[in-house]
Chains A and B, each alone.
Chain A
Amino acid sequence: MNGKPEMIKTTYREAAREGLRDALARDPRVFLMGEDVGHYGGCFAVSKGLLQEFGPERIRDTPLSELAFTGMGIGAAMGGMRPIVEIMTVNFSLLALDQILNNAATLLHMSGGQFNVPLVIRMATGAGKQLAAQHAHSLEGWYAHIPGIRVVSPATLADVRGMLWTALEDPDPVLIFENNTLYTMEGELAVDAGPVDIDHARVLREGSDVSIITYSASLHKSLAAAETLAGEGISAEVIDLRTLRPLDDATIMGSVAKTHRALIVDEGWRSGGISAEISARIVEQAFYELDAPVERLCSAEVPIPYARHMEQAAIPQAESIVATVKRMVKSHG
């Protein structure tokens, strides 16, 4: 390949839609279903226009029952289809947790390897849009607890464009978490952008003093923090986890072996969260590389508040990342 690929200006929302359109066009077994995905165009307008383009057979509005339509998706997947189930927000997915955990994640195991469930579930997650505590939590870490499913969280345009098709090709259930504050994020995407791997974390910024391990919306806050820190002589490495289950231990440990300090930034709650899991793995696998205790910057352990200033104060921000890293590195020499 020669030269740089041609780039277009687009948004995370449009890139997500492009991923859906690509999947629907590639494989007639693929269909999208969920609350308001058709006529309304999706509660975050991701599927706007797809009903007109692909018709009501493949863009299906469902009743308000996450349990029912997720179960339908599982049945369709077992019957040979490649369903994409959209759940409005992760909070509502708890209504479907029985289907996700007790059926989707376990059928392969309980059938003695006879039935795969090639299902993809997309849902919005995260705080920052003043949607209050019923809509704004970050529970992807809970799903990363469950064996039998894969959990991915695209933070970039290329990933939200490319993870869907790779997820559909996975013979087992994949959950895709899209942070709702990212939908309006603008950026450049290669015209020929296509499927991407969903196995590896990615180092988005190299550094030598501390590894900031993060994902989703916190990635962009971490990158901004790293830029600020660079101005103060602190070199921060920023890792986008991309996939929360299975975690890419090799990339995390490789980075910690280089920087000897780790900060995990996670919009989920701290207690028992994915940040705790990552911290434990670092201590298990890279203990002798650590020059300082592993630290975590997570959301305040409260229901996400509605008031804007309180909501912003409850979740990790670039400023709090900068302050935490400075404290961690300050004690150095």
Chain B
Amino acid sequence: MAEFRMPSLGADMEAGTLVEWNVQSGDRVKRGDIIALVETDKGLIEVEVFEDGVVDKIHVQPGAKVPVGTALAFIRAEGAAPLPAAAVAGPAPAAVEPKPAPAAVPSPPLPVTPPGERVIASPSARKLAAELGVDLTVIQGSGPRGAIQRADIELASRAAKPAPPVGKPAPPPPPERPAPPDYQAGMRRAIAAAMSRSNREIPHYYLEMEIDMERALAWLEGENLKRSIKDRLLPAVLLLKAVAGALADVPELNGYWLDDRHQVSEAIHIGFAISMRQGGLITPAIHNVDMLSHDELMGAMRDLITRTRAGRLRSSEMTDATITVTNLGDLGVKTVFGVIYPPQVALVGFGRIMERPWAENGMLGVRRVMSASLAGDHRATDGHRGSQFLEALNKHLQGPETL
């Protein structure tokens, strides 16, 4: 018997609204099934179940907003007797849960390590995880071979603690009559909080570089000639690969500023800003961009854009980005002056690719040119490092075949 609880889907999440059940009482479920849809300030999130069993009793109905950790349903082991009606009414009795769940982690996030596979974690990280009650299978490791290290446990433990409310406390949800969820307002508030924090805490510096895109686009056009229309690559694929390549050269821009300390990430998870048609913006992460082929990356982008606009993102995609890329070129913008998404330390902006007079080797020609900009966190890096990054980006875009 296990409780299926309202998960914590971000450091600032205190409560979530159950939007829909994909199961009903009596349904058989297995570990990994997506059984509910939860609305948070960041959007709609699909929630997985972590046990095999049978849905015994659903006791939070769609539309209800409940605090993180609230039991939403009971999952009974197959063959076990159904729970007597009285037992589900109140808070979970001790007998239902022999080991009290650690207070810091109200509900398991999505597992990173598939069941049955060995978790690679340093001895010290294992010890700390045991002390703090952190489940190693849900931690994304940042060490070599994805090994979980102390810092990953510390990060997870901090993220699991409810953040203090910022500013005016939200009014209590109206009892009984569930109001239609205001997704727009929630997202706007989340953006407002993150961006206010960014401008309050992060001393930004800005750099811009004009990049000759002729070689990159010519290569891309050549590639696309070999492909069917549905498999064609967008310039964004090259731009993201170039960012990943430049981050490998200048890793300092990839990571976080946490606890007054610059924490460089080995994994390259690029947050890709996707605007919502109804307004607002979500920056889900494309994981390990440096390891994806062009086609894999194109597939990942398509999938992410579709799911983002449908409001169906996974929690790890919402929290894992190590840097953000904003591409506003489609809208005709020439240069992006970005606001860093904390606790990241850099944002890369791409403007419109446009034909411009371009002088090179004493000759004037017309080239397709793009402005690439960098907003850097001056606590973590200096303009010198930032310049090296833009130069590396340029270098990679001049050799598109190696990306």
Instruction: List A residues at the B interface (Cβ < 8 Å).
Output: 233, 260, 287-292, 330-333
Q: Which of B191-199, B237-245, B257-265, B329-337 contacts A (4 or more CB under 8 A)?
A: B257-265
| A residues less than 8 Å from B143 (CB atoms) | 292, 331-332
| Interface residues of B, Cβ cutoff 8 Å to A | 122-127, 142-144, 147, 149-152, 155, 251, 255-256, 258, 261-266
B124 adjacent to A290 (CB under 8 Å): yes
Nearest A residue to B263 via CB reads A333
A292 surroundings in chain B (CB, below 8 A): 122, 143, 149
User: What residues on B are CB-neighbors of A289 within 8 Å?
Assistant: 123-124, 127
Flag if B123 contacts A333 (CB, 8 Å): no
B147, B155, B264: the one within 8 Å of A330 (CB) = B264
Query: Judging by beta carbons under 8 Å apart, are A333 and B152 in contact?
Result: yes
Contacts A288-B126, A291-B124, A331-B143 known; A260 to B150 CB distance under 8 Å? yes
**Residues of chain B with a CB closer than 8 A to A330's CB:** 251, 264, 266
- A290 and B151 contact, CB distance less than 8 A: no
Closest partner residue, chain B, to A289 (CB atom) = B124
Complex Cα–Cα for A74 and B200 (A):
74
Give B152's nearest chain A residue, CB to CB: A333
B264 to chain A minimum Cβ distance, whole angstroms, is 6
Distance from A281 Cβ to chain B, minimum over Cβ atoms (Å): 15
Output the least CB separation between A72 and chain B (Å): 51
What separation, in Å, do the CA atoms of A272 and B251 have in the docked complex?
36
Interface class of chain B by DSSP: mixed
B127 cross-chain contacts in A, Cβ below 8 A: 288-289
Whether B124 pairs with A332 at a CB distance below 8 angstroms is no
Give the CA-CA distance A287 to B155 in the complex, in Å: 22
Residues of the A chain whose Cβ atoms lie less than 8 Å from the Cβ of B263: 332-333
Which A-chain residue is minimally distant from B154 (CB atoms)? A333
B80 CB, min distance to chain A CBs, angstroms:
37
Q: What are 29 sample pairs from A and B whose C-beta atoms fall under 8 A apart? A: A260-B122, A260-B124, A260-B150, A288-B124, A288-B127, A289-B123, A289-B124, A289-B127, A290-B122, A290-B124, A291-B122, A291-B123, A291-B124, A291-B149, A291-B150, A292-B122, A292-B143, A292-B149, A330-B251, A331-B266, A332-B142, A332-B143, A332-B151, A332-B264, A333-B142, A333-B149, A333-B152, A333-B155, A333-B264
A332-B142, A333-B155 known; A288 and B123 CB under 8 Å? yes
Are B142 and A290 in contact (CB-based, < 8 A)?
no
The answer to whether A333 and B122 touch across the interface, beta carbons within 8 angstroms, is no
In the bound complex, how far is the Cα of B150 from the Cα of A88, in angstroms? 48
Residue of B124, B144, B262 touching A331 (CB-CB under 8 A):
B144
Beta-carbon contact of B255 and A333 below 8 Å: yes
Instruction: Report Cα–Cα, A224/B218, bound state, in Å.
Output: 50
Residue of A288, A289, A332 with most partner-chain B CB within 10 A: A332
How far is the CB of A297 from the nearest CB of chain B, in Å?
Answer: 18
A332-B149 contact given A233-B262, A292-B143, CB 8 Å threshold: yes
Instruction: Report the bound CA distance from A290 to B124 in whole Å.
Output: 5
A258 to B68 CA separation, bound complex (whole angstroms):
34
CA distance A233 to B252 in the complex (A): 12
Closest partner residue, chain B, to A283 (CB atom):
B123
Taken together as a complex, chains A and B put the C-alpha atoms of A287 and B144 apart, in Å, by 18
**Which of A233, A288, A331 has its CB near the most chain B CB atoms (within 10 A)?**
A331
In Å, the complex CA distance between A288 and B122 comes to 8
Distance in Å: Cβ of B251 to nearest Cβ of chain A: 8
Chain B nearest CB from A253 CB (Å) reads 13
Collect the chain A residues with CB atoms within 8 Å of residue B256's CB.
333
Evaluate contact between A291 and B264: CB separation under 8 angstroms. no
Contact between chains at B125 and A291 (CB < 8 Å): yes
Residues of B within 8 A of A332 (CB): 142-143, 149-151, 263-264
